[in-house]
Amino acid sequence: IKNIAVLTSGGDAPGMNAAIRAVVRTGIYHGINMFGVMQGYQGLITNNIKPMDARSVSNILHLGGTILKTARCLEFKTDEGQQIAYQNLKKNNIDALVVIGGDGTFTGAKRFSETFGVKVIGIPGTIDNDLVGSDFTLGYDTAINTVIEAIDKIRDTADAHDRLFFIEVMGRDSGCIALRSSIASGAEAVLLPERATSVEELIKKLALGAATKKSSSIVIVAEGHKQGGAYDIAKKVKETFDHYDTKVTILGHLQRGGSPSSFDRILGSRLGFAAVNALIAGETEQMVGLHGNAIKLTSISEALTAHSFKLEPDLMEMTEVLSI
């Protein structure tokens, strides 16, 4: 392998810069020419590809976002888009790609690799933690820290006013952020996309809390919850349970920004290092991931399979027990 390009695609995640830095420096250390593709797959189509040296990734470990920029590129989903991207890779003599992103990124990479034989290694970078083959995805830990910092602040004012707050967190199909944040912030209830919780059940729980002298209550709602978002749930609850003054906060994109935690900086560095080593070892269509405290490879196809097992059963049980 002589020339490797790295890109970030889909939603950004804190720790992506640590991964980019590790990919670039590991490649250069081994005498490989390194390139950065700007704006994810969009940059492959527009030929926005630049050489990167060791200094081009200096002082970025602590930065959120991604120095390579990112995009959700619809054109790369088409045959024409993939064809143009391949021609641009050939023009730049690039023989392998490291893609950092989530399920959309990996779906695109798999098809591209299968069609054109380009070697690809994936790094799981998404705050959603919804990929098989890595206990933690890049950005997930930082996002949870950001969420609990916000909830701690809301708890202060909720308690001062004896209010009920519904707080919506990210996770279109994944309740991972919601579940962990609920344990870490001591939320009274959590609504997950993977678990059906009726409004009646929720009201029963909140009523019990009120009867046992809870002065304030916090309900975390994952954005993908089947009964609706935080505003919908708050409205439905208020129709029959009006014990508390009720407020809603949507945390939104603040969950995606910020300086990565030490965990995400180290994870990004480990995964970037492992991705280039995997390419050197001749691997392709694999994702590097964290398994226990070791780095392992999982095929990209497997990484994209169902992920609901990622909700730890003991945490699920604790949401009922510890919130009484």
Q: How far is residue 12's CA from residue 28's CA, in Å, rounded to a whole number?
A: 25
Kind and range of the H or E run holding 26: helix 16-29
Least distance to ligand F6P, CB of residue 240, Å: 29
For residue 283, how many other CB atoms are within 10 A of its CB? 18
Residues 6+ apart with CB under 8 A from 108: 9, 41, 73, 76, 77, 99
Give the nearer residue to ligand F6P in terms of CB position, either 23 or 170: 170
Residues 6+ apart with CB under 8 A from 12: 64, 65, 66, 70, 139, 256
Is residue 307 involved in binding ligand F6P (CB under 6 A)? no
Give the nearer residue to ligand F6P in terms of CB position, either 146 or 217: 146
Give the nearer residue to ligand F6P in terms of CB position, either 37 or 170: 170
Is residue 11 involved in binding ligand F6P (CB under 6 A)? yes
Least distance to ligand F6P, CB of residue 252, Å: 9
How many residues contact ligand F6P, by CB under 6 A? 11
Is residue 139 involved in binding ligand F6P (CB under 6 A)? no
Least distance to ligand F6P, CB of residue 180, Å: 14
In whole angstroms, what separates CA 298 from the centre of its chain? 18
Is residue 125 involved in binding ligand F6P (CB under 6 A)? no
90, 172, 204, 226: residue in contact with ligand F6P (rule CB under 6 A) = 172
Give the nearer residue to ligand F6P in terms of CB position, either 155 or 256: 256
**Residues 202, 187: contact at Cβ < 8 Å?**
no
14, 171, 209, 272: residue in contact with ligand F6P (rule CB under 6 A) = 171
The region of 83-91, 121-129, 156-164, 300-308 touching ligand F6P under the rule CB under 6 A is 121-129
Is residue 134 involved in binding ligand F6P (CB under 6 A)? no
For residue 322, how many other CB atoms are within 10 A of its CB? 12
Residues 6+ apart with CB under 8 A from 305: 132
Is residue 256 involved in binding ligand F6P (CB under 6 A)? yes
Is residue 128 involved in binding ligand F6P (CB under 6 A)? yes
Is residue 102 involved in binding ligand F6P (CB under 6 A)? yes
Choose among 17, 92, 9, 21: nearest CA to 51. 92
3-state SS class at 288? strand
Q: How far is residue 50's CA from residue 173's CA, in Å, rounded to a whole number?
A: 35
Please count the residues of the chain.
324
Question: Parallel, antiparallel, or unpaired: how do β-strands 96-101 and 49-52 relate?
Answer: unpaired
Least distance to ligand F6P, CB of residue 274, Å: 22
Q: Tell which positions 195-224 bind ligand F6P, by CB under 6 A.
A: 223
Q: How far is residue 171's CA from residue 222's CA, in Å, rounded to a whole number?
A: 6
Give the nearer residue to ligand F6P in terms of CB position, either 19 or 94: 19
37, 170, 202, 220: residue in contact with ligand F6P (rule CB under 6 A) = 170
Asked about 128 being catalytic, the answer comes back as yes
Catalytic residue among 103, 128, 141, 264: 128
Q: Which residues are catalytic?
A: 128
Residues within the interface to ligand F6P (CB under 6 A):
11, 72, 102, 126-128, 170-172, 223, 256
